[in-house]
A and B are shown apart, each in its own frame.
Chain A
């Protein structure tokens, strides 16, 4: 989970990623950020993120990102 926070902060500074639950719904992350995040997550956790996974409910918070990463690591 800390790794997720690190990646997020590296891509966009000044956001309270620990508590923010509306990263997509509140327009905090834009499409460029999302692509960067995906790249970093794939490298950091050795997972494959497909477009099927790129939905708002996965990207709305650091928590949901972490849940998605864990699911993909198990698969």
Chain B
């Protein structure tokens, strides 16, 4: 969203708030499809921004769902079960059974451990269904099964008559700056898939991979040529021995760019030579992956009514939120020109995780509003502010 556009709608939104630009989301997806075509499926990791679930549904192939809450969101958004991959390291038996009861054998379930496989088998058997399962391969942390465990499952797959193992899921982490790690991971998976074929005659039909492409949040970071990165990745995929279907799980990469977090400056002062701005939001609403104590400067916009003059020089302002803690520093030494009270600061690239990952209940402060923006409907309030004090005290 261009600065002029934000200026134009500045009177229409309240602060603090998130604004999700559906136009840029659409453009993002179009770019992704331009590179990957229809051979590779794109599944939206909705944990990045569940608010977009319904609007993004027409432009993605499916959703990666990781919790009962996320699942309920999909139900409310009308996402059909066959477009859902049900992940989650903690799968409760009751939830699984209920879903199976309602939706039958549609969709795909992931299995993070041997006991999860057993759970899925028991549940499917109880309801006399056959369900599709992807085994999550571990990247070395608490998620997934290590290659030996996977191997043993594949070897004894006939002991799970109610489960069809369609393939594997793999995700090692986010914000990968270089594709070397990706290359190594794909190589590792390729070899495993080969091994399962030669050793056990197991044909892998589906590889669901979370690439964790890099999103540059901060000013000093190198610009990223998205299409080039994705094309390079595509070559890596094409270079594998594996010739089955590939699904990419993406969340941050899809959603980050469409989000703006807007706050209003409510106070400006200088203490002992350091300039401070207080805004009406704070770290209870906003975070950036990789931000340490506000020391990195994210991409931002400064909307002001005051006309810029040549005398308005850049000066470093430490931008703090409204929380009663010295930790509420959004950005240290943000370069701003003559910021005034009532000016609006817009933090860019907050479309992924920022609106869910922060400590929203802290200090019983109100939740930020959420708006959608698109050219035809303009700015639309999708979630009004509400109080959290009722969550922090009952009575």
Contact = CB atoms under 8 A, between A and B. Distances in A.
Interface of A: 22, 24-25, 27, 31, 34, 54-57, 59
Interface string B159-174: 0000000000000000
A31 B309 CA distance: 11
Contacts, number: 20
B308 A55 contact: yes
Contacts of B313: 24-25, 27, 56
A57 B308 CA distance: 9
The secondary-structure label for the interface of chain A is loop
B314 A34 contact: no
A55 B308 CA distance: 6
B228 interface: no
A54 B310 CA distance: 7
B337 interface: yes
A25 B314 contact: yes
A22 B315 CA distance: 12
Contacts of A24: 310, 313
A31 B314 contact: no
Contacts of B314: 22, 25, 56
Interface in B302-344: 308-310, 312-314, 337
Nearest to A55: B308
B232 to A, nearest CB: 28
Contacts of A56: 308, 310, 312-314, 337
A24 B126 CA distance: 73
Nearest to B337: A56
A56 B336 CA distance: 11
20 contacts: A22-B314, A24-B310, A24-B313, A25-B313, A25-B314, A27-B313, A31-B310, A34-B310, A54-B310, A55-B308, A55-B309, A55-B310, A56-B308, A56-B310, A56-B312, A56-B313, A56-B314, A56-B337, A57-B308, A59-B310
Interface string B288-313: 00000000000000000000111011
